[in-house]
Every structure is written in structure tokens, then in C-alpha cells.
């Protein structure tokens, strides 16, 4: 089922400041900001060669990242993303095991279907699964 780690997502209170830190201080290659209205976030990806960091910032007042930042004003790790062969098949298999999935599959930042698994079923971590 699992393939590889795709990215680790970090919620940040200031997207420009975070981008400058990774680009100007640490010398990383970063993407342009991408608004994802269906997910309520704006993202920037930091290319790490073998994986990525995803910088998340709320897009609108109803963003799930807004609540996260209220609890963690400095930001922090929001979720991690693992690749799977087929999100739709994985969705059905996980549901059979009683794993709670937060909503229906959506298209994520990489243009591929994604689902999120409830942290209470994943040892306290929000897990995103994405088609490989």
C-alpha cells in the first residue's frame, strides 16, 4: 500500500517570512505560492531532493490551518504525506478497518487525489495519502 514519503507539511504564521528563511538563509529551492481554495491553504514547496517540505498558510477564515495556528502561534508540523498506489482503493480498504477519513478524496497541490486520515486513528498524527 505505502510507497514513499512525499512531504512534511509545516503550518506557518507568515508565508513570506518562512519562504525567505528556507530560500535565503538555508539556500533551498522553493516553489511559487499556490492557492488551494478546496483545502483552505496557500502552499509553498521546499525541494529537499529526496522529499519536500510544504509550507502551509491559511487561505480564508475557515481554513483548518487557522485553528492549528491559534493553538500553535509559532507554527509547527501539521501533517505528513505518504504516497500510495491508488487513493480510491486505499480509501475503501481503510474504511473497512474502521480508520476515519476526513472527507472524500480531493485533488491536492500536486494535481493528484489525496485523502486525510484522522489523527486519533494514526497515533496523534494527521496523515495525508496521495496517489504516487
The domain at 2-131 falls in which architecture?
Answer: Roll (3.10)
Domain boundaries in the chain?
A: 2-131
Question: In which residue are the cell numbers 517540505 written?
Answer: 53
pLDDT for 50-66, tens place per residue?
Answer: 999 999 999 988 999 99
Mean pLDDT of the chain: 96
Q: Is the pLDDT of residue 4 over 90?
A: yes
Whether 128 is catalytic is: yes
The residue whose grid cell reads 518562512 is: 18
pTM > 0.75: yes or no: yes
pLDDT on residue 60: 87
pLDDT digits (tens, 9 = 90+) for 28-49: 999 999 999 999 999 999 999 9
For residue 125, the SS3 value is coil
Cβ contacts of 99 within 8 Å, gap of 6 or more? 117, 118, 121, 122
Q: Which of 54, 83, 128, 130 is catalytic?
A: 128
Position 23 confidence tier, pLDDT thresholds 50, 70, 90: very high
Report the pLDDT averaged over residues 57-80. Answer: 95
Task: Tell me what the mean pLDDT of segment 6-29 comes to.
Answer: 98
Amino acid at each position: 500500500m505505502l510507497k514513499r514519503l512525499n512531504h512534511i507539511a509545516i503550518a506557518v504564521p507568515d508565508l513570506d517570512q518562512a519562504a525567505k528563511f528556507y530560500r535565503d538563509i538555508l539556500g533551498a529551492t522553493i516553489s511559487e505560492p499556490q492557492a488551494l481554495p478546496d483545502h483552505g491553504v496557500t502552499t509553498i514547496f521546499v525541494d529537499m531532493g529526496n522529499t519536500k517540505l510544504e509550507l502551509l498558510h491559511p487561505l480564508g477564515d475557515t481554513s483548518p490551518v487557522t485553528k492549528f495556528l491559534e493553538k500553535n502561534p509559532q507554527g509547527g508540523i501539521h501533517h505528513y504525506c505518504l504516497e500510495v498506489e491508488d487513493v480510491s482503493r486505499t480509501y475503501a480498504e481503510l474504511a473497512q478497518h474502521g480508520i476515519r477519513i476526513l472527507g472524500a478524496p480531493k485533488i491536492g497541490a500536486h494535481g493528484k487525489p489525496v485523502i486525510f486520515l484522522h489523527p486519533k486513528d494514526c497515533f496523534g498524527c494527521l496523515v495525508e495519502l496521495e496517489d504516487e
